[in-house]
Chains A and B, each alone.
Chain A
Amino acid sequence: GNSVTQMEGPVTLSEEAFLTINCTYTATGYPSLFWYVQYPGEGLQLLLKATKADDKGSNKGFEATYRKETTSFHLEKGSVQVSDSAVYFCAFIYGGSQGNLIFGKGTKLSVKP
């Protein structure tokens, strides 16, 4: 069935370190892919998205490329900051742009000064 698998956390990095959070999906058709971020005590915010193969979503220094051949959408950032500490969720939509949103389990990132 449709599902998202993302690397388990928590991930702890030092400031300015390189970040990768892996995400792979299982879906029929051509889903749109998303990364959401949840800061402590808050709801979800859309971080970036990609709607077709080879698209690269980017925002706030984060990037992810829609890799259809590997069904992946790994999140990367070249130099993390303490303010990036949050939980990151990989997700995809099937059934059109307003269809069902399927979430991964989330990866908690802690960035130490």
Chain B
Amino acid sequence: GAVVSQHPSWVICKSGTSVKIECRSLDFQATTMFWYRQFPKQSLMLMATSNEGSKATYEQGVEKDKFLINHASLTLSTLTVTSAHPEDSSFYICSATGGYYGYTFGSGTRLTVV
């Protein structure tokens, strides 16, 4: 079946630094990838949708300059949190769709900014 690998699974960084999170589809071509943010005890909030080779579409209220999304190939999308601050601490989850495969989720990344 379809597998999406997300890396790293957790990361701690200092305030002001940038962090990159990778999302890879291992056995299918992901024409579309989604990035979600999950706050404690809350549902998933869609941050942005990206299609391979084109700019990401951000949801209202999500700062595109802060959350940089790149979908350069059919198997890889990256989310870079720039100049991270403690309020960016959260659980980030990617998802990919493509071909015959519906939504397949990564295992998530726990970001802690100190």
Contact = CB atoms under 8 A, between A and B. Distances in A.
Interface in B33-49: 34, 41-44, 46
Interface in A84-103: 89, 93, 97-98, 100-101, 103
B85 interface: no
A29 interface: no
A98 B105 CA distance: 13
Interface stretch (B11-19, B71-79, B106-114): B106-114
Nearest to B105: A44
A103 B110 contact: no
A105 B43 contact: yes
Contacts of B44: 44, 89, 103
A98 B110 CA distance: 26
B32 interface: yes
A46 B103 contact: yes
Interface residues of A, number: 20
A106 B32 contact: no
Contact of B32 (A45, A98, A108): A98
A47 to B, nearest CB: 12
A93 B102 contact: yes
Contacts, number: 46
A41 interface: yes
B29 interface: no
Given A43-B106, A93-B102, A98 B97 contact: yes
A42 B108 contact: yes
Given A89-B43, A106-B42, A43 B6 contact: yes
Contacts of B107: 42-43
Contacts of B104: 46
Contacts of A93: 102-103
B43 A98 contact: no
A104 interface: yes
Interface of B: 6, 31-32, 34, 41-44, 46, 93, 95, 97-98, 102-108, 110
